[in-house]
Amino acid sequence: MKPKPFFRLLPLLAIASAAADSFELKDGTKLEGSILREEGSDYIVQVQVTKSIKDERRIPKSDVIARIAEKKDETAFEKIARLVPTPDLLSEALYAARIRQIEDFVKKFPDSTKKAAALKIREELESELTEIKAGGVKFKERIIPAAERAPQAYSLDASIALSGIKAAVDAGDVLSALRAWTRFETDFTGSSAHRENIGFMTRVMKQHLANVVSTLAQVDARNQARNTSLDSMIGSERSRSQQAIQEEQDTYLARVEREKTAGIKWLSLDPYVKAPLEETRRLLENEIRRLESIDLSKLPDTEKIFTDTYAIVTRQEVTRQEADAAISKARSANLSASYLEQLSKLAPEAP
């Protein structure tokens, strides 16, 4: 029996998941697949046709001139090798999960030639995790130990927060970016990250404003088109569609009310509901004017204020009175409450 034409069309087939043997057939076809079972003179092989489609194929053993058994430990190690380098800002829990993957690999393949490499990766992860647990952070592909992080916590945290905002913008999630920017300005106004990105956020808001204005201009036409579509339906079909639309709108309006109650000023938007769109347009116009009017020379240098105050309150033999005076000065310069609290915790106890 000759191999099915399917194999001639695909010179190389990937396996389902990772485990696979390699086969070379008499006609020169090469393929990879997982042997599910043997039935008499045939192999029943599972192959991956596409990412989402698997297929079973029958291959006559007589047509196979070479079979190379997969080294399963090497296939499994491919995932282990991708555990490093770690991404920035990885949590302790995710570090621990990566370490468990390596421990599972070593347990499953104790005699693997990849064991030493896996253990080296585990050592790297454990070293980073130790720094993270001690208060350090990985940012811009570098582990910053706690002792180095503490004096520059304010500027570093500002940069980290700003990177999250830019990531949201890059992902097209402007709503999350705007909400994060609001929090960012509460904590980091005057920081380098703030000063250097006022223009960036102004451009983001202007683009968002253009989109909102365009959406607003089509609200009435969009609703009319939907109503026309409903009118063309008959009987129960129209009733079900009207009910579904109403439920969707009620859910949306309830979410908007929850956002307002929570003090969220950047509301979720729906292209069929005009009021939140109009409110967002006005807010964007006001925010753009505010950002464009900021005089950088009049902003407090909050990074310097934090580092100077940190140096005072952590100085050897500093008095409580000196520490309180420095913190009071930082408060007067509008350093955010969360960082004033950090500095207060570092100050010596009152005698």
Q: Which of 267, 272, 298 is nearest to 284 (CA)?
A: 267
DSSP state of 13: -
What's the pLDDT score for residue 291? 98
Inter-residue contact 145 to 134 (CB < 8 Å): yes
Asked if the model's pLDDT at residue 149 lies above 90, the reply is yes
Considering only 53-57, 155-159, 182-186, 241-245, which range has the smallest mean pLDDT? Answer: 53-57
The model scores a pTM over 0.85: no
Could you tell me whether strands 14-15 and 54-60 are parallel, antiparallel, or unpaired per DSSP bridges?
unpaired
- Please report the pLDDT score of residue 10 as a whole number: 39
Average pLDDT, the chain: 91
Q: At 42, list the tokens.
A: 């045939």
Q: Are 188 and 158 in contact (CB under 8 A)?
A: yes
> Of 62, 100, 102, 47, which is closest to residue 80 (Cα–Cα)?
102
Is the pLDDT confidence value at 168 over 90? yes
Q: Which part of the chain is CATH 2.30.30.100?
A: 5-70
Mean pLDDT of 324-343: 95
Exposed e or buried b per residue across 92-109, where buried means at least 16 C-beta atoms within 10 angstroms of its C-beta: eeebeebbebbeebbeeb
Q: What is the CB neighbour count within 10 angstroms for residue 13?
A: 23
Q: Could you report the per-residue pLDDT of 13-30, keeping only the tens digit for each?
A: 443 334 567 788 888 888
- Is the pLDDT at 125 greater than 60? The verdict is yes
> What integer pLDDT is reported at residue 214 of this predicted model?
98
Is residue 349 very low, low, confident or very high in pLDDT (cuts 50, 70, 90)?
confident
Question: What are residue 14's DSSP bridge partners?
Answer: 48
Tell which wins on pLDDT, 255 or 5.
Answer: 255
Give me the mean pLDDT over the 318-337 stretch: 95
Per residue in 190-239, pLDDT (tens digit) is 999 999 999 999 999 999 999 999 999 999 999 999 999 999 998 889 99
pLDDT, tens digit, 9 for 90 and up, residues 301-321: 999 999 999 999 999 999 999
Query: Tell me, what's the pLDDT at 72?
Result: 80
Q: Which amino acid is at 190?
A: G
Q: Which pLDDT band, with edges at 50, 70 and 90, does 257 fall under?
A: very high
Give the least confident one: 28-32, 47-51, 283-287.
47-51
Average pLDDT over residues 88-114: 96
Predicted pLDDT at 350: 67
Tell me the pLDDT tens digit for each residue of 232-256: 998 889 999 999 999 999 999 999 9
Q: Which of 149, 194, 170 is nearest to 301 (CA)?
A: 194
Contact 204, 167 (CB under 8 A): no
Per the omega criterion (within 30 degrees of 0), is the bond before 85 cis? yes
Q: What are phi and psi of 143, to 5 degrees?
A: -80, 125
**Tokens read off for 299:** 């902003």
Q: Is the pLDDT of residue 1 over 50?
A: no
Q: Model confidence at 12, in pLDDT bands (50, 70, 90)?
A: very low
On the question of pLDDT at 288 being above 80, the answer is yes
DSSP symbols for 241-301 = HHHHHHHHHHHHHHHHHHHHHTT--S----TT-HHHHHHHHHHHHHHHHHHHT--GGGS--
| Runs of H (alpha helix) within 82-114 | 92-108
Share of the chain above pLDDT 70, in %: 93
CATH code for residues 5-70? 2.30.30.100
- The one-character DSSP state at 61 is G
Other Cβ atoms closer than 10 A to 259: 16
Per the model's pLDDT, the better-predicted residue between 252 and 45 turns out to be: 252
The predicted-structure confidence for 50-66, as pLDDT tens digits, reads as follows: 777 888 888 898 888 88
Contacts of 291 (CB under 8 A, 6+ apart): 198, 201, 202, 205
Candidates 141, 143, 183; CA nearest to 164 is 183
Q: Are strands 21-25 and 64-68 parallel, antiparallel or unpaired?
A: antiparallel
